[in-house]
Amino acid sequence: MIIKEYVNYKKESLKAEIASLNPKPHFVIIQVNEDEASNAYVRGKIKDATEVGIICDLVKLPVTVSQEDLLKKIDEINNDSNIDGLIVQMPLPRQIDEEAVKLAVDPKKDIDGFHPLTKLDPCTPKGIINYLKNENVALSGKNALVIGRSNIVGKPMARLLLAENCNVTTVHSKTTKEDMKFYIEHADIIVIAIGKAGFLDHSYNYKPDAVIVDVGINRIEGKLHGDAERDLPVKLQTPVPGGVGLLTRLTLLTNLMEAYNAQHK
């Protein structure tokens, strides 16, 4: 199923589930920036939530807010039993310690999955695993290659693939060209998240049955490009746009439902 159809189908079933719930699932986004990209992400999150019947409030704080006042606001939301989820939109201004903020969010409400104690997995890798399972992509015993090792994508991706019994390799900017070629050409599943347009190109001999999941978002002359060139000779390649971004957005909603169910049962 193409990703757009899969996401629409999942959103329809979420909508039906939420229609019978009282109180409605409810989350808050705290935004402390005037960043254009963040504004677009926040608008997207509010739109997705509203479409399925989830309540989403945006709390905008001035970019000059002190760390103490931001932490106070987080604490207030943590203690509000009417709110099931809390997102602090990144990036944060320079006077704020990002790690302190991530740790301040109640792990039970951390629908981004960033807190070390949260039971919720980060949205991008979790959305990818769910989609691969829906597509019946075999994972157990397969060679999975994760290109990139960030805390929000690469590292949790490798952990989740390992939990599915893949043989997982992680490569990064210090990997040699020769090793990169070797790992790419031996991989059954490649997840790339490095922010380098067209890094996976037609020069490699991919396994014909390989699956490429393209997480990269690169804006070039106003157009979005992934980290892989289009139409590589593999069994399945996720597009950019219209790919992993949609899975990430869907998983924020399903993480919220998990947080809601844990708090209301």
Using the rule CB under 6 A, which residue among 172, 202, 230, 264 binds ligand NAP? 172
Q: How far is the CB of 134 from ligand NAP (least distance, A)?
A: 17
Cα distances (angstroms) measured from residue 104 to each of 2, 8, 27, 62, 94: 38, 33, 16, 19, 17
How many chain residues touch ligand NAP (CB under 6 A)? 23
Q: Name which of 84 and 214 has its Cβ closer to ligand NAP.
A: 214
The tokens for 146 are 């994760």
Strand 218-220 relative to strand 223-225, pairing: antiparallel
For 245, other C-beta atoms within 10 Å of its C-beta total 21
* Rounded-to-integer distance, Cα 132 and Cα 144, Å: 12
> Could you say which of 24, 26, 196, 207 contacts ligand NAP (CB under 6 A)?
196
* Helices marked H in the chain: 3-19, 36-52, 67-78, 98-104, 123-134, 154-163, 177-186, 244-264
169 binds ligand NAP (CB under 6 A): no
Nearer to ligand NAP, 83 or 170 (CB): 170
Instruction: Determine the interface stretch with ligand NAP among 39-47, 87-95, 128-136, 172-180 (rule: CB under 6 A).
Output: 172-180
Give the x/- contact pattern for ligand NAP in 239-258, rule: CB under 6 A: -----xx--x----------
Place of tokens 């050409």: 185
Instruction: Please give the residues from 45 up to 74 whose contact with ligand NAP meets the rule CB under 6 A.
Output: none
Q: Least distance in Å: CB of 88 to ligand NAP? A: 16
Please report, as residue ranges, which positions from 118 to 157 form the binding site for ligand NAP (by CB under 6 A): 124, 147-150, 152-154
Q: In this complex, which beta carbon is closest to ligand NAP, that of residue 77 or of residue 217?
A: 217
- CA–CA distances in Å: residue 46 to residues 41, 76, 143: 9, 21, 37
Between CA 108 and CA 113 the distance in angstroms is 9
The residues of the shown chain that bind ligand NAP, judged by CB under 6 A, are 124, 147-150, 152-154, 172-175, 193-196, 215-218, 244-245, 248
